[in-house]
Amino acid sequence: MNTTALSTETANISSTGSGDGGPIHAVVGMLSFFSVIGTTGNALVLYVYTRKRNKLAATVFIISLATTDLTTSIVVMPYTIVIEYLNYYVKYDIFCKMYMFFITSNVPFAAFIMVGIAFDRYFCIVHPFKHLMNAQRAKIITASMALLAFTLGIITALNYSVYEGCGGVNDTCVVKFTGVCKTSEILLPHTFTLYYQRLYTALFFLALLVVMVLYALIYRSVLIRRAKRRRQRRSMCSYTTSKESWFQEYRFSMVSSLRKNSEEKNEKSNSAVESELLRQLAIRERGLVANIKTALMLFVVTAVFILVFLPAWLMAHQIIDYNRVIFYMYFAYNVANPIIYAFMNKAFRRQLKIVFKC
């Protein structure tokens, strides 16, 4: 996504000497504001979530996402301010390549993390007894996604340079210094760049498609469970039958053993067994409600991601006119996440109060 848009802008700069995407001072002011707010907010998120003793898979993913957002706020945003202010005129090639690596690796990494979060919520809510996702597996998945995102960033960096190749005598390639960070065919051919940009865009939208499908399945599962509860409440079946269907739905592993013990004891012990079953059921129900609330919060994070990146994607594919200010609004995503957590997570708000009191 970013590679196409940046290619378009650098082409405009190299031909006219200045960008035509809107006022540069507005971009500098906006990104400076985003950098300060994003650094503060994501630092608080990391402080709160890293202090948790029992880290779940969702906690690992949130920490990874907050780390990415913090890096973007501290490094990528100021880097973008400098590059934009200089109109992509960069003296050293390494700075050009480093910028392209940062700007095009953090976006897919954030998208990949959201895929991991969506899978985690799906397994917790739809298949809670399979235990397919835990903190250790979440760490391995996050490391694999980071490796893939960094690979994409390296390939993009190799596509950009402050030098360009031009034809010389006897069809030899002459390397010429331009000073503009733009696409170059010195290391990789133009054909490869075109195919790579398509792959980059396809991976981005494949990740979003997977996320939307998983959240749709989660929503469907919640609706089905609610419908079952309504039918159970309206039915005239006995309490035992109603309870039986509930436990079967959640595959409560202790039911069989507790029933077997209850048959060997008197009526008083049976009553104790019934109380234990109800207590375990209440615990499971509270856990399900907590998972659904977390899923809702993380779905809002995904929705914000899609909303702020949509204009940039449309500009990257020249569907709408390029504008610097609107294009770089996608950095608002790195700022919005701590605000979403603060509004939708009671535990996070409680920890923040403790931090500010200290």
What per-residue confidence (pLDDT) applies to 270? 55
Structure confidence by residue, pLDDT tens digits, 214-248? 888 888 887 787 777 677 666 645 444 444 444 45
The single residue listed with the structure tokens 């959640």 is 250
Cβ-in-10-Å burial (0-12, 13-18, 19+) of 197 comes to buried
pLDDT at 247: 44
Using CA atoms, how far residue 289 sits from 173, 286, 294, 356, in Å, is 64, 5, 9, 29
Q: Residue 10's pLDDT is what? A: 47
Q: What is the chain's mean pLDDT, rounded?
A: 77
Q: Above pLDDT 70, what percent of the chain?
A: 72
Architecture of domain 2-160+187-237+301-357: Up-down Bundle (1.20)
Where do the DSSP E strands lie in 76-234? 160-167, 173-183
Is it the case that residue 101 has pLDDT exceeding 60? yes
- Looking at residue 3, its pLDDT comes to 57
* Confidence category of residue 261, pLDDT binned at 50, 70, 90: low
Within a 13 Å sphere around the CA of 179, how many CA atoms are in the beta-carbon half?
A: 8
Q: Which of 159-163, 274-278, 292-296, 354-358 has the highest mean pLDDT?
A: 159-163
Q: What is the pLDDT of residues 290-343, one digit of tens each?
A: 667 767 776 787 788 788 888 887 887 788 888 888 889 889 888 888 888 766
The pLDDT value given to residue 218: 82
**3-class secondary structure, 254:** coil
Please give the angle made by the CA atoms of 48, 286 and 141, to the nearest 5 degrees: 50
Q: Domain limits of the chain?
A: 2-160+187-237+301-357
Question: What is the value of pTM for the model shown?
Answer: 0.74
For residue 284, the model assigns a pLDDT of 59
Q: Tell me, what's the pLDDT at 183?
A: 87
Q: What is the pLDDT of residue 43?
A: 92
Q: pLDDT tens for residues 190-207?
A: 788 888 888 888 887 888
